[in-house]
Each structure stands twice: as C-alpha cells, then as structure tokens.
A and B are shown apart, each in its own frame.
Chain A
Amino acid sequence: MQKVLIIGAQSGIAKALARSYAARHCQLYLVARNENLLQEQKNDLEIRGAKSVEVALLDVNNFSDHAQTINSAKQVLGDIDVALICYGTLPDQKSSEHDFNSILQAMNTNALSVISLLALLAPVMTAQKSGSIAVITSVAGDRGRKSNYIYGTAKGMVSRYLQGLRASLFSHNVHVVDIKPGFVDTPMTSTFKKGALWAQPEAVASNIIKAIDKRKNVVYTPWFWRYIMLIIKIIPEPVFKRLNF
C-alpha cells in the first residue's frame, strides 16, 4: 500500500490522480485551500477505496506555512512513497505582461512556492531513502512563446529546478519526475475552446501514475506532446520570433 501526499488536491488532474490512488487502496494526505471541498473529496475517496484520507489546509502563497504542512504530512504518513505537486494558475498573458505585480504573483504561485515545497520535501525524502516526487509543470515551459510566456517562464523555472533536484536525489534513491501535460480539460482551462489535441484529466492521471511506477524522468502527456514540443524547440530563433504563437 502506497502513502501518497497530494499538494493542490483540488486541481482537475489531482482529483483524477487521487481517485486512481484511492482505487489502489492507498493512504492519502490531501492539501488544498478549501476546507469544505476537501471534506467532500475525502468522503468521495474513502468510498472509492482509499485506505484512509487525511486533509490539511494550505494557501501555497503563504510560504511560511509550508514547513508545517510537510511536517504534518510526514507525521501522518510515516514514509512518503509519492509526493505530488499539482497546483497552478493560468495568468492571462495580455493583461499581465506589462504588470510586474501580476507577474510576481504568477511566479510566486506557479514557481517559487513549488520550489519552496520541494526544498522542504527533499531532505524528508532523502532521509527515508525512498519515494517519488512528481511535479506537474507544462509543455509551455519548454520554450517562451509570445502568447503565454509568463506562465511558460514559471513552469520552465520549475522544470529546470527539477533537473537539478533529480540528479541531486538520485544517489539517495529518491526519484523525481517532471510531468509536462499539454492541453487538459480541467477547471483551469474551462474557458478554452477544446479541439482534437485536448486530453481528459483521467487519461493524463493514468499516464502520470505509470510514469511514477516506472520511475521516468520527464514525461509528456499525452505522449504526442513530446514530438510537438521537439518540433517547437528546434525552430531557429530568427524564425521563431516571427511566428505568431
């Protein structure tokens, strides 16, 4: 039976992940902002087969509360087999690109708070000499694009941090996986027009769990994004800067 910590448990992908782990009869520790919704989620997961579900409140933008959250999770779960960081916001590029306060807010929520949590998780996982850390970043972090570079910058920062962390924790038998989803139909993207490239959170969650089980390093989900991003990454900058996306 795995012991799973999920930070940002109310996000669309996290809900699907939690349900998959519940079906495996795992022990869950959920962290999110809204107490009522967490309580509802706890009931749902227990009915779906979770061995036990503990919940804790955290606003990730209160960095000073991070240590307390990680400590409580460690205390409740004992060894943490899987630590998932699943939250994020999608800043509106147009309205925030010339407004540093919005940019800072986006960086705090999507990058620095994640790094803060990882910095606290790393020693815990190192001490237990086991476990996986999985963080949801984004394909948007692979290259700065005109239409979405605030979000892309934050996600890219986390991806780069994870590269270093992976190497640093490798010798301690701690696995670090960077999950890069493409377009996923979740509340975060509820206002987007959905097309053929869009995936459902359940499908993405199942890819993520496979990646954790197989101790992959970087995972694009759905799989075809690896090739889409490969193409986007090799476009030479003189051409890329003229493109409209």
Chain B
Amino acid sequence: MLATRQHVSGWGRYPEIDAESLKPRNTVQLSEFMRTHQNATGNVFQGICRGMGRSYGDSALAPLLIHTAHLDNFIGFDAANGVLHCNSGVSLGCILDNFAHRGWFLPVLPGTRHVTVGGAIASDVHGKNHHHDGCFSQYVLSFRLLTAHGKVLQCSATENSEAFYSTCGGMGLTGIVLDVHLQLRQIGSAFIQQRAIKTSNLRECFDQLAANEDVRYSVAWLDCMARGDQMGRSVIFLGEHCDEGGFESHRKISLNVPFNSPAFLLNRHTMKLFNQFYYQFSSRTAAPTTQHFESFFFPLDSISNWNRLYGRRGFLQYQFVLPNETAYTGMHEILSRITTAGKGSFLSVLKKLGAANENLLSFPIAGYTLALDFKFQPDLLPLLDTLDSIVLHHGGRLYLSKDARMTATTFKRSYPQWQQFVEVRNKLGASGVFRSLQSVRLGLDDEDREI
C-alpha cells in the first residue's frame, strides 16, 4: 500500500497540514498493513483514521492518515429486524439511499449525510432527536475493532465493553472500526411533518424547547446578532415522521461553491442582514408543513463545499453544552460576550439534549447545546478562550468533533472520565499509535516523535 502526500484539513479548513495518506482497498489489506507495519519496519504506526473529513477541527488530522473510502461494502441485512451489517467506510447517506425507500431509517442523523459509520461512532454523533433517542452509538449493536497490534477485537455493550464504551465517542483514538452491526428504525414514509415556532428571546426559546420535549425532532435556529430584550430570539423547528406520503427519493437541487469566496463577503453586516431576514420571514403561527427528510435533516448538503464561503482561512465551529441548571445564565452570558465583541455567527443552532450515555468521551449531557460558526480571524482565539472559561464555570464542555483549539486543561476539566479513557487506551496498546493533532493538543498523547 503506497502513500500519497496531500494537503488536508477538517471541514472548518483550520488548521491545514500536509499529510501522508493511505487508502486500503479492503479490510484484509488494512489488517495486514497494521500487522506488518509494526514488525517489518520496527516503526510503530502513528496516525489516525479518516472517513469523509467532516469533523471541523483537527481530530482527523495527523502526519499519517488511513482513509476508509474503499471500506464501503454492505455485508448483510436482516430485513426482519432491521439490522444492517456494513463496513465502517459506508456513509450515512449511502445507507439512506439504499434503505429509506424500503422503510428503514437511521435512528440518529447529524446535520450532514456525508459522514461514515466509523466517523459517526468516533464522534458519537447526535441529531435533532437527542432528547428523545440519544446518540448514534446507542444503535450500534457491535463492531470489530482493529487494534494497534493488528488484532481484531469484537466489541459490544456486553463483549469487550470497555473498548466499546471508549471507542464510541473516542475520536478514533482506540483503533480502527472495521465493520458494524447497526440497528435501523422502521418509518412509514420518507416525509417529515414540520412545525415552526417563533420565539422572541432566549428565555422563550428555552421554555418552548422544554415544552415540546415529547416531539421527536427539535432544533432552534438562533439569531445570535440580536441584542438586548431580543437576545436569543429564534425559530424552533419541530418534526415527526409522517406515516403516509410514500418513499419517493428527494429531487435534489445541488449548488456548489467551486472555490474560496472572498472572506469579506461574510462580515458583521451581511450576517446581521441574513439573520434578520431569516427571523422576520418565518411567520409566527406557521401551519405544519410536510417535507422530505433530506431537506429536513440536511439543508446544508444542498450546497456542496459550503465551507468555502468562509474564505481561504476557514472557520471555527464552537459547540458547547451546558447542564440544565446553569444553561440559561451561561448561554445568556456567552451570547452577550459575542455581541459585545462584535462577532457573529452566520448560522447558530440551539438544541436541548437528553441524558448522557455511558461512553467515556461522548459530548452530550442533559442540558442545552449551542453551535456557532466563526470566520477565522486572529482576534477570535482570545474570545473563544474567554467563552471556554464561561463554559467551564457553568459545568459545560465542548464538542470534540468541532474543536480545533481548546487547551488540554479545559478538556481534562470538562471530560471527567478522561483518565479512564487513557487507561483503556493503554490496555488496548492504542496510546501514541492512533493519534491525531487533537489528541496531542488535548494532552492524551505526547508531542511528536519521529515517524
């Protein structure tokens, strides 16, 4: 297997590095590589697995990358119980394309269909239904993990459960997931019934999200440029699967951003204008509408390479969660800091999360989460450091899949099970082997040794 040198970055396009890339053709070749790379060369493999590169920061960046693009076979499907067996490089979009029209759906979907099953496990992604259904890993029945020694470990909640709970949400730092048994959910149609609720400030937004907790899908788009009494005004979208309407596939309108747009196009004024329009044009008492699941779950996927809109230097996504008790005051403070600093986010998404699961590093805890996009500017970093301290003070944490800059101290203070994670990694022999720029930055791996 030969490597190519490539310029790579996460979806936020910050940071960007040169890396060697390997693309194994199948799991046999990959397993063989892990075994022989160790013994023959005397070098320990050091690198990280990469799926579709949709994590925003540096979690899928390392000097040596293993791409799972070719590990994309379906292996089996139990049509009676809806259990899919597939390789880890299969994308969620591909699963939907092949199964949604047969009435089987993924129980948890993030904001894009361009995520591999392996990536969804590593990030333990959540969706608009977290308060109702939890994270992606809760529908993973089992998987096979290729470990640092080239051995293959069968993992589930009952078998090698330590490895299971650290791999789910473990950012690829425990090994490489080869194939997965996944529980799908039955649906009655490809359509979602959507209802929109407009709220005039953050308090109202929180109350409405809490009042609608029995609705399966809920998410709020927030106007983060609004100040004063209107701070935190939002449009909440609620959705439920329709029982009727058929399974026709979505007529895709696809736009593309072919190259970096000049970064100045996204400035405070254009963002304010966009946010204001968006808010004003959503009507207060909207009647329920029916839409295809593709446009309900993946509105941004219709614009390929939308990350280029932020210009050459990229952007940082900042997603944090605060526990229920402190969420309102904490979020209020954070929004005030952002508006005072004159920064803004084009898209800001707020969501109520349900209880945490058993994984050691999964992001969600019972509370409220807010995701913000910031165009990269040097003066952004100090502001985000300030926000970090507010998040910590309120007992919250940042989402590792979005992060490109938090400090090791912040991480260790906000992910209390990090030491347990280190222990399991050591037992698996994964420490220092499966490593990313992020794992080094977060103090989970030592600074670079020569490769």
Contacts and interface: CB of A to CB of B under 8 A. Distances in A.
Interface stretch (A44-52, A112-120, A136-144, A168-176): A44-52
Interface size class for chain A?
Answer: 10 to 19
A95 interface: no
Given A36-B28, A193-B4, A193-B5, A187 B77 contact: no
Given A190-B4, A193-B4, A193-B6, A43 B76 contact: yes
Contacts, number: 37
Q: Tell me the interface secondary structure of chain A in the complex.
A: helix
Interface stretch (B67-75, B114-122, B134-142, B425-433): B67-75
A114 B25 CA distance: 24
B2 A190 contact: yes
Interface string A30-43: 00000011001101
B77 A47 contact: yes
A36 B76 CA distance: 15
A48 B77 CA distance: 10
Contact of B4 (A37, A40, A41, A191): A191
Nearest to A12: B70
Interface in B1-53: 2-6, 23, 25-26, 28
Contacts of B26: 37, 40
Nearest to B97: A23
A97 to B, nearest CB: 20
Contact of A44 (B3, B6, B74): B74
Q: Tell me the interface secondary structure of chain B in the complex.
A: mixed
Interface centre among A23, A36, A48, A194 (most CB of B within 10 A): A48
Nearest to B79: A47
Contacts of B5: 193
A192 interface: yes
B161 interface: no
Contacts of A37: 26
A48 B6 CA distance: 32
Contacts of B75: 40, 43-44, 47
A41 B73 contact: yes
Nearest to B21: A190
A187 B76 contact: no
Contacts of A44: 73-75
Interface in A27-86: 36-37, 40-41, 43-44, 47-49
A98 B76 CA distance: 48
A84 to B, nearest CB: 20
Given A187-B23, A190-B2, A190-B4, A43 B73 contact: yes
Given A190-B23, A193-B5, A43 B74 contact: yes
B1 to A, nearest CB: 8
Interface string A190-209: 11111000000000000000
A44 B26 CA distance: 13
B98 interface: yes
Interface string A5-41: 0000000000000000001000000000000110011
B2 A49 contact: no
Contacts of A41: 73
Contacts of A43: 73-76
A242 to B, nearest CB: 30
Interface in A177-192: 187, 190-192
A191 B77 contact: no
A192 B77 contact: no
A192 B4 CA distance: 7
A44 B76 CA distance: 7
Q: Closest 3 interchain pairs by CB?
A: A47-B74, A44-B73, A191-B2
Interface of A: 23, 36-37, 40-41, 43-44, 47-49, 187, 190-194
Given A43-B74, A47-B76, 18 more contacts: A37-B26, A40-B75, A43-B73, A43-B75, A44-B73, A47-B75, A47-B77, A48-B74, A49-B98, A187-B25, A187-B70, A190-B2, A191-B2, A191-B4, A193-B4, A193-B5, A193-B6, A194-B4
